[in-house]
Structures are given as C-alpha cells and as structure tokens.
Amino acid sequence: MAKGPKTDIWLPLYIGDYLADTAHLSTEQHGAYLLLLMHYWRKGPLPTDLWQVILITKLHSTKARGIVQALLEEFFTIGEDGLWHQKRLDAEKSRWNAKSEKSREHAKRAAVARWSKTDAQSTAAASLEQCALPLPSPRSEAEETNIAAKRSFAAPKVASRFSAFRADYEEAFIRSNSVQAPWDAKEATNLSRWMKANSTISRDQWQNILRNRARSPVNQAAPLSRWISNALSWLNGTADDWGKPTKERSFNAGQWRQNSDGKARATIEALRESLGGDQESSG
C-alpha cells in the first residue's frame, strides 16, 4: 500500500522571518511557541481546548495559561473546522505535499520506464509500492533570498512594527519614571491588539501619543495595559485619563515634588520668623 508524504521528519524554519515575527517574546514564550509549531507540523491544527494546548507546550508555571492564550491569539486563528490554524505552516505543508506528490509521480514514471525495457511489468508494479520518496534538497542561499523577496509578507511586518512601538513606549516610560517599564505577556497582548485595531496609526503618530501623554496630568507610572485603550485621546494633544483635553504640564512628577518641597520649606521658614518676632515683642 502506498504511503502518503511524510512531513514529520523536518520542519521549514526561516530564521529571519521567525525572529522578525517573535522579537517581543521571552525565552519561555519562544520555547512554548516552537513546541506548538513542531506539534502543528506533525499533527495538524491545534485543539481549542486550552488545557490540551498547554500540555503540548510542557509549561508548568502559574503563567502557563496566560502565555499560551497570548500565543494562540497572536499567531493562530480559528478555522472553519473549529481548530487553531497557523496560516504560514498551512501554506508550507500544502507546498511540500504538492512537491512530494510531483516527486512521487516522477519516480513512478521512471520505474515504469526502467522495468518496461526488461518486459517485467508485473514486477515493476509490485516494486512501485516500495518506492521511496526523495527528500527535498536544501535550497541555495540565493534561492532562499529570492523566495523571501517574493513572499506576500515581505512588506513591512506587523512584528517589526510591534517591536518599534514597544521600544518607543519603553523609552518614554524611562524618560518619565527613570525606571524600566513593566512588561509581560499581558502588556504584549494589549499592545498587539490595539495595534491591530488601529493598523493605520504610523510610528510618528504613536510617538506623538507618547509625548502628549507624558505632558498630560495622568499617572505616568501606570502600565501600558491600563491606558492603551484610550491612547487615541493623546494623539492631538494633552488629555486626562477620560480623554478630556487639558492644559499641558510644564514639568514632570519629579520636578513637581521638588517644587512642592521648596514651597513647604519656604512656609516653615516664614512660620519660624513669625514666631520669633512674636517672642521678641512679648519680651
């Protein structure tokens, strides 16, 4: 009985594309995502039962549920069959199956031609069932470069845009708070969803949002997930947390504290002088 094409002995991994799409992932998230890709290549689309998918990733930490859910929502989509699909792997498997079938047909024709010369058609028919499929030969570097240039996703990638937006946010946070911005799967998911919902927002506009928010009377230490849903409120100017336009702040929180301390000291000195004057008059 003829065997179908085997796709469980190798996985096409285009390193440049993978790193561009996953630059924002942590080491733990990388490991989980690669295990999902390997399982997908061998077994097909992933089940919608989140617990089954977690078992595939072999994650045992308390963050497993959040990590897996974020990976599924960012890199997979629910197909008509109700399972999680990965568009890139589906295309690669279809391409490989077509190439494998073409190679198999070529091998059959070659075997028939070879055995027909010895007038042994019956033996050839039996041997065809045992005919091994040739493994795909590696492409040259030039072929890989040419293929990558033709891919539909060779245009600016969402992942590259994501990395730029995240870097801008972290730089703005450090400027306002002098500490590293908090970042985890929750923050990444919220930024990714907002970027997909506002795909026309350019990087310049995003930087304007960050600058205007830094000049607004809002909590500058709040994590991105707290305010990203209202980010457009700061696109054209300063605003409060509810999107109401406000006057621009002329100094940051640190300067405010310094000014407040200065006023407090001045008030104390004035009280001391007043008390001193009263004591002299009473004497």
* CA–CA separation, 38 and 10 (whole Å): 9
Q: What is the pLDDT of residue 75?
A: 94
Q: What is the pLDDT of residue 152?
A: 44
For the chain, list residues with pLDDT below 70.
Answer: 1-8, 117-142, 144-159, 248-283
The two tokens of residue 46 are 């992933």
Q: What is the pLDDT of residue 111?
A: 77
- Using CA atoms, how far residue 152 sits from 91, 148, 231, in Å, is 12, 9, 30
Q: What is the pLDDT of residue 4?
A: 47
Residue 53, number of CB atoms within 10 A of its CB:
24
pLDDT digits (tens, 9 = 90+) for 72-126: 999 999 999 999 999 988 988 888 777 777 777 778 777 777 777 665 555 555 5
Q: What is the pLDDT of residue 276?
A: 63
Q: What is the pLDDT of residue 136?
A: 57
Q: What is the pLDDT of residue 253?
A: 45
Q: What is the pLDDT of residue 247?
A: 73
pTM, rounded to two decimals: 0.38
pLDDT digits (tens, 9 = 90+) for 174-187: 989 988 888 998 88
Q: What is the pLDDT of residue 103?
A: 74
* CA–CA separation, 94 and 96 (whole Å): 5
Residue-level length of the chain: 283
Report domain extents, the chain. Answer: 1-155, 158-234
* CA–CA separation, 25 and 14 (whole Å): 17
Q: What is the pLDDT of residue 68?
A: 93
* CA–CA separation, 226 and 177 (whole Å): 16
